[in-house]
């Protein structure tokens, strides 16, 4: 019996913003299971800004997706055939299975989930890679203290929404930055941040100064661009800058100038890059810590769901332009 | 009896590079000693790049020198009158006494030195603030390991020369950057760095790449400007950047653009500012550690001595232009 699947592959490397013709939805034949492997059908596919980097062949921390290769991505799926004792048919798993309807992968790379706990999609968002990124950033670099001012960029997004709520739990004054009134309302009313600045205002610096009268002690950087330039001169002595992403610049074909670093000397700033896969121990730690908060409803999140694997490329183009609202997911298959 | 002294005061705030007319050598009357104070005659005055910052009224970590005020600076001096039990006439002390021939200051701000140990001037250089800065930078931020590549800017200077020797002791490959063949020869032959790049070459980036075939793991930043732009894209994954100073930009009247920070995310760089006065415990720690190395001659240093307090302004103008060679000192008075 031959099994076929649908997958989204990279047709050509995007120059600047990715376009539909850079991707292709194809049918592929699945290989037979080897020992240690399982066949999974995908339920949820996570769409994250980091994926833009994998489409380029510029030197980076991770191998790029090859031309014709399936795009990288985390999924939640259901095991439909197993050649490994650790996983049985019907098990629900999360792992780096990529943009495909069905995947044959090594069982050891998948984490089995509790079907009766939080919604399965949360393992791609608030309890998954983005939530763990927020947790690691605030724990390993930000270390916000009571009374400090913390600014969170992309505050309504999967990482920012969690980072800000962690800072609130630490007693900090938390100011979000998001695009548009609707997102800002969500950041203040639902997530409970103290303020939210709309980055579309005419004078971003003035808006930030009004929201942060005592300057900025911690900045969670997801965005880069003009926002970074506005925040940088407001960083206080001993300020920390968690460098998680710069999505506003991912489609650039040429590096923009950055902020002058004299302020790093004078104000003894600490600027540090964060790729959460460097800290694998943080994943289980965060799931254990945050699972009860998600179950009881005290850790808020919002999901933005796109239907159908064929729409994954458009979803990625959207997140790079800030057009999602909350954790962006593609529903690939039915719930178990 | 009225005592007078000579002092160099700030006549006006420099715009750009300081000029002779920004300073004034004046005679001043010394106050009588109050309880807890001592009168010191200055032997050595240290000249350091940070002093440029104190001449501006831009917001900074330290209070600026007021117009008409004596310029800030560390000195070694001899106590000539004492109203404090801790210090006696004839004691040799180091402390922040400023640009003056004689100073009345609080005894508690001065540290008594051993007359029969290393040369007194070393307490302003290799064993003093610059040496401690190098030690703190390599200990608290750089943490160079055996086999790593460490680049030291201003490598023949008071801070750089010590920082590189510490990295050598840790087993790292150490590449200095200095201005001109004479300084480079000193850095390689006397200080024992593995290589030295002359920053006056036509293609600085190419020279750095030749000297650092495996990229750069630790960069000790004293200089900024073009050198920083050349080093930044060579920083390896998990690279550290010790932000100690940016002397090439201290006379700028407008901030230059800095490096794009995308590399901080992708390579998980750690960039941190260092002002050694934040870490007072490091001073005694470094003196205790390095004193035997200075006595036995295994920790090398070079001094550049200018004669006479009246030449202190020219000395400062020189260090800002990189015209000193080694730790810059002004001899203000005779040895005890």
Residue B183, domain CATH: 3.40.50.720
Q: Is A25 a residue whose pLDDT tops 80?
A: yes
Contact, A270 vs A239, CB < 8 A? Answer: yes
Whether residue A296 lies inside any domain: the answer is no
Confidence of residue B59 (pLDDT cuts 50, 70, 90): confident
* Tokens representing residue B176 in the block: 């200095």
Mean pLDDT estimate for chain B: 96
pLDDT > 80? residue A208: yes
> Is a pLDDT exceeding 80 seen at residue B1?
no
Lowest-pLDDT range, A225-229, A249-253, B21-25?
A249-253
Nearest CA in chain A to B254: A260
C-alpha dist (Å) from residue B222 to A210, B177, B244: 35, 10, 5
Q: What is the pLDDT of residues A301-316, one digit of tens each?
A: 999 999 999 999 999 9
Domain that holds residue B166: 129-277
Question: What's the Cα-to-Cα distance from B63 to each of B15, B110, B204, rounded to whole Å?
Answer: 18, 20, 36
CATH code for the domain of A76: 3.90.180.10
pLDDT at residue A60, rounded to an integer: 76
C-beta of residue B65 within 8 angstroms of C-beta of residue B98: no
Closest A-chain CA to B60: A266
Is there a domain that residue A294 lies in? Answer: no
Q: Which residues of A256-287 are buried (b: 16+ CB within 10 A; e: fewer)?
A: bebbbbbbbbbbbbbbbbbbbeebeebbeebb
Look at residue A171 and tell me if it is in a domain: yes
| Residues A136, A121 share a domain | no
Residues of A in contact with B54 (CB under 8 A): none
Task: List the one residue out of A325, A283, A318, A285 whose CA is nearest residue A303.
Answer: A325
In-domain check, residue B267: yes
- Reported confidence tier of residue A254, pLDDT bands at 50, 70, 90: very high
Gap between the Cα atoms of B109 and B38, Å rounded: 10
Cα(B55)–Cα(B48) distance, integer angstroms: 13
Q: What is the dihedral of CA A271, A275, A281, A287, to 10 degrees?
A: 100
A200 touches chain B (CB under 8 A): no
For residue A293, tell me if it sits in a domain: no
Residues B273 and B146 in one domain: yes
Q: Across the interface, do B243 and A264 touch by the CB < 8 Å criterion?
A: yes
Question: Which backbone phi and psi does B313 adopt, to 5 degrees?
Answer: -60, -45
Q: A170 and A120, same structural domain?
A: no
Residues A307 and A269 in one domain: no
Query: Is B291 part of any domain?
Result: no
Domain count, chain A: 2
Q: Cβ of B272 and A268 within 8 Å?
A: yes
Predicted pLDDT at B61: 78
Q: Are A249 and A235 in contact (CB under 8 A)?
A: no
Binned at pLDDT 50, 70 and 90, residue B150 comes out as very high
Is residue A290 situated within a structural domain? no
Same domain? B115 vs B43:
yes
pLDDT in tens, B89-109: 999 999 999 999 999 999 999
End-to-end CA distance of chain A: 24
Contacts of B66 (CB under 8 A, 6+ apart): B10
In this predicted model, what pLDDT tens digit does every residue of B60-86 receive, in sequence order? 778 899 999 999 999 999 999 999 999
B120 in the same domain as B158: no
Q: Are residues A114 and A146 located together in one domain of the fold?
A: no
In this prediction the ipTM stands at: 0.94
- Confidence band of A1 (pLDDT split at 50, 70, 90): low
Q: Which of A140-144, B57-61, B117-121, B257-261 has the lowest mean pLDDT?
A: B57-61
- Whether the CB of A266 is below 8 Å from some CB of chain B: the reply is yes
Question: Residue B232 in 3-state DSSP?
Answer: helix
Residue of B nearest to A60 (CA): B266
Closest CA to A216 of A207, B278, A225: A207
The answer to whether residue B172 is domain-embedded is yes
> Which of B261, B277, B293 is where one domain is finished?
B277
Interval B167-171 mean pLDDT: 98
Residue carrying the six token digits 């900074």: B60
Q: Is A311 on the interface with B (CB under 8 A)?
A: no
Together in a domain, B255 and B314: no
Q: Say yes or no for a CB contact (<8 Å) between A275 and B268.
A: yes
Regarding whether B92 and B38 lie in a shared domain, the answer is yes
Instruction: Name the closest residue on chain A to residue B250, using Cα atoms.
Output: A262
Is B218 found in the same domain as B206? yes
Domain shared by A35 and A141, yes or no: no
Q: Which tens digits make up the pLDDT trace of B170-215? A: 999 999 999 999 999 999 999 999 999 999 998 999 999 999 999 9
- Tell me the pLDDT tens digit for each residue of A57-104: 887 778 899 999 999 999 999 999 999 999 999 999 999 999 999 999
pLDDT at B261 exceeding the cut of 80: yes
Do residues B97 and B137 share a domain?
Answer: no
Q: Residue B275 and residue A261: Cβ atoms within 8 Å?
A: no
A58, exposed or middle or buried, with CB in 10 Å at 0-12, 13-18, 19+? Answer: exposed
Q: Rounded distance, CA B309 to CA B44, Å?
A: 9
User: Percent of chain B having pLDDT more than 90?
Assistant: 96
With tokens 């997530």, the residue in question is A191
Most B CBs within 10 A among A64, A133, A265, A274, hence the mutation to make, goes to: A265
């Amino acid at each position: 019996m031959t099994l076929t699947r649908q997958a989204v592959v990279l047709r050509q490397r995007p120059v600047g913003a990715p376009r539909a013709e850079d991707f292709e939805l194809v049918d592929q034949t699945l290989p037979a299971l080897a020992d240690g492997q399982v066949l999974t059908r995908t339920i949820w596919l996570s769409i994250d800004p980091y994926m833009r980097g994998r489409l380029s062949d510029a030197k980076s921390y991770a191998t790029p997706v090859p031309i014709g290769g399936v795009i990288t991505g985390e999924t939640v799926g259901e095991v439909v055939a197993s050649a490994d004792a650790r996983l049985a048919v019907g098990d629900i798993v999360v792992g780096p299975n990529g943009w495909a309807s069905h995947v044959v992968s090594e069982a050891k790379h998948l984490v089995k989930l509790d079907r009766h706990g939080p919604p399965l999609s949360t393992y791609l968002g608030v309890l998954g890679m983005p939530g763990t990124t927020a947790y690691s950033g605030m724990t390993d670099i930000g270390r916000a203290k009571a009374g400090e001012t913390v600014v969170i960029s992309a505050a309504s997004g999967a990482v920012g929404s969690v980072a800000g709520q962690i800072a609130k739990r630490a007693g900090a004054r938390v100011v979000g930055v998001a695009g548009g009134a609707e997102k800002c309302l969500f950041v203040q009313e639902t997530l409970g941040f103290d303020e939210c600045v709309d980055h579309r205002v005419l004078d971003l610096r003035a808006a930030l100064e009004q929201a942060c009268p005592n300057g900025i002690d911690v900045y969670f950087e997801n965005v880069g661009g003009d926002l970074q330039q506005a925040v940088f001169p407001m960083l206080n002595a001993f300020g920390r800058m968690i460098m998680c992403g710069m999505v506003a610049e991912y489609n650039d074909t040429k590096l923009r100038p950055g902020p002058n670093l004299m302020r790093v000397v004078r104000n003894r700033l600490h600027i540090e890059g964060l790729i959460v896969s460097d800290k694998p121990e943080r994943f289980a730690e965060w799931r254990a810590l945050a699972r009860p908060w998600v179950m009881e409803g005290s850790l808020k999140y919002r999901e933005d769901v796109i239907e159908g694997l064929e729409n994954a490329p458009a979803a990625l183009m959207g997140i790079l332009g800030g057009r999602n609202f909350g954790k962006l997911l593609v529903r690939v298959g039915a719930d178990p």
